[in-house]
Structure 1
């Protein structure tokens, strides 16, 4: 028998090392061990992984011609656990190991170095942690993908020098230590993809990048890159994708950039680039161009109008001018355009929706003129249509009003005229309609009730006339109704009270007449009402006295009679001016009602006067007797009341200062901090209030500060510093909180009833919020699993808190900074509706008066402080936005701002941001207690949080925009009807409940 035949026979019988049965058996056992490690027994689709089956028939396994395992591809299989790399590397023919887009965890063990035959290693979109080991032995690798994990520490860039066969290097979105651009990459001349976004690379992009001429995809975004785009980049003429967004690049687009003729996607947004766009005029293969938030100027090259593949264009927030190319977007199936906040002129290009695919058209804040092209009336794909703050004119094409999918129509601040078309009743998706500051006229069409999703309607400063249609009562989702500065006449329809979601009604400066309907106070969340400068008559409905208004104005009408007691407070006094027929016995600012005794004869007046005089004398005598008696018998109790106490009320009070003072006892204390303690006080009336006791005595305040600092791990120096500053800090905190809260009336800001001060102490009396703080509900074990906060409740907390902050930032002539936004300063009422609280660090900005628009005082709490504070010591509104973004991340993930698992010197912002590059990994960040039906909505909110926590303040949205984005990410809830209980309260399924609505998640 020839030796070759004998050798083959022995090999097949497994009698030689490395022979058939022996190796096959080993490979089978290795894969069965892998099955156990990754929990494949419990995952559908792995039924083939059985001991009596060949590994070559296993799901995800590919064998070579010798029936040895060559490839393991288990991407996106929903597997978890820690892979046994040590045993996998014993597969002698293994060339591909792909385990990406799963839930794998643990460290990348050094055993991976033994897989020397690997040509592809893909572990992306998992939860691997720790330091990446030296990978230099894997010199056959062509693809290395470790992106979107939680790797940290120094990356062994030097180990890449041996991987000269690499075609794709993907390390993006990991928390590696800061380092310069890795010079070793210059040796990887075969690279076609380099993805190192969000890996903490700093410094300049090196000139040698131009040597990587095989690159098709270069992604360097979300790093700390500075300087100019190197001119050598123009040598990469095979590039199809170039991502440089959210760095700190400067300078112009380099000369010769037009040579990158294969570019399909170019994103250099959120940098400091300048100059014009002329170098882009030849990039005719562009599909997506994103250059927003830069300093570009000049005109958009006319060649853009001939780009036949362009579908996405974002140029907003630059200094661009001139006309947009007339044929822009007319060739391809255009998706969106955003050129807002520039200086464009001329007409809006007419054909961007030629193929019926455009979803978003944003051209607001420019100088566009002419009419809206008629073609957009048929663009049924439009979701958002925003053309506000331009010089547009003419009649709006009728079809615009009735677009079936449009969510926002924003036509404000233009010169449009004509009526609102009756077709608006077909706009079933319309949530926001902004048409203020135009020349619209005619009557509001009754068909507007058909726009049943309408949440905000602003038609201020127009020429509308006629009556407000009664059909408006059908808008059950409507929250804001702004119709001021028009020519509406007739009576306010009573059915307006049926708009149960209304929070704001502004009908000022019209010609409305008749009485104020009692139903106008019916919406349970109404907090702002302005009916001023009309011709309203009759009495103020008593029903309004129970409404807690943040703004209230009935001035300059023809109202008569007594002001209801609940409205006769100093905060509303200007809202009654210009109504000489009004009176009140509860405030000195209005004519007393008791002065109108009526009667027609002097004799009757004389008799009454005499009777009153006699009665007064009798009462005085009795009073003097009782006074002397009480003084003798109750001297100690009377002396206990400190005559130096000064009470300033900001609401109608049902208690006096002594009732509060007597309740400041240890057993009532519910919290403490550096400036004092907080007490729960149950009044004799049964009402519960919260009282913050701030010490004036510097030694007492210092002791409290030291105690609080000690509990929080404060240093001795910090405690001594607190002692020295205690008096001034207390004074500033108290004055800041009183000044801020006493003038604020908003449903999402904690209500301050009064302040009580003396030389020794100061008390602030607030409404009591029985469900504690958001921090307690999310992070305190005593509250159970997130305190029972379902996703719908969390979303409502997010929206409510955002509205409160938006009111502080935008609801005043000058914005109010909170400067310590955190989950412990968001309190929850009995229905889990949020209130912004603790204004001890609040500051009113005086930017409008020419002062500094930022604050220079140490402010904030670790984990919530915006990064710019570390190097500028300045905060502004965007610093509050950052802190609120951290709160949103807490709400969605259930994690604290600082957790050990985030890594040293890392916080929740780093942890979330680096994993938000794909929707699949983002879902894994969502708190596991949130049910599957709410997880997509939670991811939407998480994306808002990432925007709020952008590194550059200018990149963060305003709180007004945050509210809008959160409302658009509305939770999909199931609301169940409840029944009222006699005497107050509500009942559901026979059980009394404290809130108006019961929510059940499907």
Structure 2
């Protein structure tokens, strides 16, 4: 029995010839035969339905160029699709397909084919006849080899083979002279062969999670390579030839076993983004000083005890040094004047690093999980700062005034040892979120009432018993309020219920 939408769709198609139809996510179990009346249709979207087959009348759509039938149950592939010879864009992903059939050679004009997340174990021997193909997505299948004809795809620019069963780099890939993007990630491929060096136009290579222990020297032949992703492998060292990749702008080496970087890497003067997280480097590589274009650097969890002579990188605006063992920062750290995001969480900082005070452009500063005990707020002179995370420290005192953080929107002070707060909060006129949970507070300063932008407040796990009168002016303004794990008096609970019941998240009043 046809659904209500299927009946309406059949009626619509019977009355009108359409150029474009979007029937996605409608719960369709079948496509009406009337679809064949729209012979001039160019675009058809029937993704995310329950289709197991397609009507023969679909063959009448001889002008169809764009077809999305992803997220259905079309296995085996309906033969009628091979009669759509004008197709240029086809999405067959998420259908449970186990084979395709050599009839696909009929798609002579096909430029983009998406076959991801199926159950393909092999491609047809004549797959290379899809000579117009420019983008091919095959990730999350069961492929372990490519047909010999695959090298005939001379127009192919983007190829995704990730999450398959390849144990080595297929030789056929070396013939793809137009290839610009190649993804091999998450295959059981413990080495990359010299075939890689034949891809002279390659701009992006994703080779994450392969189990690689080395990178072939042929990587240095990729003069157009701009992005290289080698994370989650077993690399202990890198080929010096990597430094020949003069166009390289993004390099991901995270989650490997690197103890050093090749000095030649300094020749990559276009490098802007470098990820070294989770490598046992032990020290800041000196060669980084020579890459003046560097904008983002991740050295989290790299066993850093100090930063040596520091960094002098004028373009650096994003820096992650979290999960190391830093006790202080070098005096020239404040010279990173372009820095606007800095993560120093989970280090060994005990005293406030004076070198932070020169970061005039900083917008997000994360210092959680250190051992800071005291901060003079008057030293925090960051006119652009929007987020400050001081949680999970040992703070007992915040002295001075909040008078130099005019743009602060998020302040996290949870899990410290604060028994009282600074009296004047009025300078934080843009503050929207304040986390004071897990401290030793039993009262709030009256000036909190003047924070006319605050929407989110967390007071959990303190020593409050009485209702904080300072919050009364915020009735109607606060949108989320956390109060649990305090010893509220009956009168306080009654006032909370009267004034804030609708926004209290964690107490039943």
TM-score, normalised to structure 1, is 0.37
- Match of residue 192 from structure 1: 157
- Match of residue 853 from structure 1: none
Is 2:321 aligned against 1:362? Answer: yes
- Match of residue 444 from structure 1: 399
Question: After the TM superposition, which residues 20-99 of structure 1 pair with which residues of structure 2 at under 5 Å, given as runs?
Answer: 32=17, 38=23, 69=40, 72-73=42-43, 86-92=56-62, 94=64, 96-99=65-68
Distance 1:446 1:295 in 2: 45
Secondary structure of 2:235's counterpart equals strand
Distance 1:270 1:263 in 2: 20
- Residue 313 and residue 390 in structure 1: after superposition, are their counterparts in 2 closer, same or farther (change >3 A)? farther
Which of 140, 145, 149 is 2:113 aligned to? 145
- CA deviations 1:237-285 (Å, max 9, x no partner) are 21111111133x2221101211111111111111222323522212121
Distance 2:290 2:21 in 1: 57
Question: After the TM superposition, which residues 390-789 of structure 1 pair with which residues of structure 2 at under 5 Å, given as runs?
Answer: 395-400=354-359, 405-406=363-364, 408-409=366-367, 412=370, 419-423=376-380, 429-433=386-390, 444-447=399-402, 453-456=410-413, 469-471=421-423, 476-481=434-439, 494-495=442-443, 501-503=458-460, 520=464
- Residue 238 and residue 119 in structure 1: after superposition, are their counterparts in 2 closer, same or farther (change >3 A)? farther
- CA deviations 1:848-885 (Å, max 9, x no partner) are xxxxxxxxxxxxxxxxxxxxxxxxxxxxxxxxxxxxxx
Asked whether the 8 Å contact 2:202–2:225 carries over to 1, the reply is yes
Distance 1:988 1:228 in 2: 67
Asked whether the 8 Å contact 1:302–1:324 carries over to 2, the reply is no
Structure 2 gap segments, 5+ residues each: 1-12, 27-36, 427-432, 449-456, 469-477, 484-488
Q: Higher helix fraction: Structure 1 or Structure 2?
A: 1
Q: Higher strand fraction: Structure 1 or Structure 2?
A: 1
- Residue 237 and residue 391 in structure 1: after superposition, are their counterparts in 2 closer, same or farther (change >3 A)? farther
- CA deviations 1:685-734 (Å, max 9, x no partner) are xxxxxxxxxxxxxxxxxxxxxxxxxxxxxxxxxxxxxxxxxxxxxxxxxx
- Match of residue 3 from structure 2: none
Question: After the TM superposition, which residues 846-995 of structure 1 pair with which residues of structure 2 at under 5 Å, given as runs?
Answer: 974-975=479-480, 987=497
Which of 174, 178, 193 is 1:230 aligned to? 193
User: Superposition RMSD on alpha carbons, in Å?
Assistant: 5.3
- Residue 994 and residue 284 in structure 1: after superposition, are their counterparts in 2 closer, same or farther (change >3 A)? closer
Asked whether the 8 Å contact 2:22–2:44 carries over to 1, the reply is no
- Residue 216 and residue 79 in structure 1: after superposition, are their counterparts in 2 closer, same or farther (change >3 A)? same
Distance 1:159 1:31 in 2: 41
- Match of residue 182 from structure 1: 146
Asked whether the 8 Å contact 1:292–1:317 carries over to 2, the reply is yes
Distance 1:35 1:998 in 2: 52
Distance 2:189 2:375 in 1: 51
After TM superposition, give the deviation of residue 313 of structure 1 in Å: 1.3
- Residue 182 and residue 413 in structure 1: after superposition, are their counterparts in 2 closer, same or farther (change >3 A)? farther
Is 2:183 aligned against 1:219? Answer: yes
After TM superposition, give the deviation of residue 163 of structure 1 in Å: 2.8
Asked whether the 8 Å contact 1:37–1:84 carries over to 2, the reply is no
After TM superposition, give the deviation of residue 165 of structure 1 in Å: 1.6
Asked whether the 8 Å contact 1:385–1:406 carries over to 2, the reply is no
- Residue 90 and residue 990 in structure 1: after superposition, are their counterparts in 2 closer, same or farther (change >3 A)? same
Secondary structure of 1:138's counterpart equals helix
Secondary structure of 1:180's counterpart equals coil
Distance 2:78 2:292 in 1: 55
Distance 2:112 2:315 in 1: 41
Asked whether the 8 Å contact 1:981–1:987 carries over to 2, the reply is no
After TM superposition, give the deviation of residue 452 of structure 1 in Å: 6.2
- Please tell me whether Structure 1 or Structure 2 has the larger radius of gyration of its CA atoms: 1
Distance 1:977 1:364 in 2: 29
- CA deviations 1:398-442 (Å, max 9, x no partner) are 254x7663152469479x9995544368676324126959xx999
Distance 1:209 1:162 in 2: 12
Asked whether the 8 Å contact 2:100–2:123 carries over to 1, the reply is no
Asked whether the 8 Å contact 1:115–1:138 carries over to 2, the reply is no
Structure 1 gap segments, 5+ residues each: 1-27, 42-53, 56-67, 482-491, 506-518, 525-972
Asked whether the 8 Å contact 2:311–2:336 carries over to 1, the reply is no
After TM superposition, give the deviation of residue 522 of structure 1 in Å: 6.2
Asked whether the 8 Å contact 2:330–2:355 carries over to 1, the reply is no
Moved more, 161-170 or 419-428: 419-428
Secondary structure of 1:87's counterpart equals helix
After TM superposition, give the deviation of residue 366 of structure 1 in Å: 6.5
Distance 1:137 1:398 in 2: 64
- Match of residue 260 from structure 1: 222
